[in-house]
Amino acid sequence: MNPRRTLVCFSLLAASVWIGSGVSAATAMAASCTYAGATPLFTPWQDYAAYVPFQGSTFENGASGWSWGSGAKIVTGDNNPLLATAGSHSVQIPGGGTARSPWLCVNSNTPSMRFFIRRVSGTGSLTIKASVNSGAKQVTTITAIADTTANWQPSPVVVFPTLLTASTTGVDAQIQFTADPGTIFRIDDVELDPYLRR
């Protein structure tokens, strides 16, 4: 890992709590942990790791597998302009709103994730939680990103804790983004690093 990469580490909030009855085994099942076509999208910010997009994470074609709560939604006319990809959509997360990614596979070769973010209003943080399914248990971890501006920018590198990366075969994980009350964020182009670079 490049020493200049800014790291945001998950801190453990809770562990080994039972999955609620509303989460079925089919819903929690992720794809294989084999990822192809990774590219170094964040090279302009001295991050030379290769990334692959989360399913639907450009938000241009319906955001397959993503779900929204308390006012979070896809908006038109405000796409992240920092990548050389055409588009016109991003996700708006208002105060108390939540965007949840599809379930995906994480393992010892997926150490981190990154995305693009901008603050629309307010002074609060964007909280990131990771729910991980292993057997009949769910583990939740969290970090908060506060240092953002009104302009699109790459997020810090969000480094998964050992708890998420200990498996060599993979566990199912879902990433959740929640805005603090009184604050509105927009996110776009959510990316997973599928190669261990530590």
Helix (H) / strand (E) element for 108: namely none
As a CATH number, domain 7-193 is: 2.60.120.260
Supply the pTM of this predicted model.
Answer: 0.82
pLDDT in tens, 76-132: 998 899 987 778 999 999 999 999 999 999 999 999 999 999 999 999 999 999 887
d(CA 131, CA 28): 10
pLDDT one-digit tens code per residue, 4-29:
444 444 433 333 222 232 333 334 45
- Residue 143: pLDDT over 60: yes
Q: Give me the pLDDT at residue 167, please.
A: 85
> How many angstroms separate the Cα of 166 from the Cα of each of 31, 37, 116, 135, 162?
18, 24, 27, 15, 5
- For the chain, the domains span 7-193
Choose between 28 and 172: higher pLDDT. 172
Stated length of the chain: 198
The string of pLDDT tens digits covering residues 57-92 is 999 988 889 999 999 999 999 889 998 777 899 999
3-state DSSP assignment of residue 59? coil
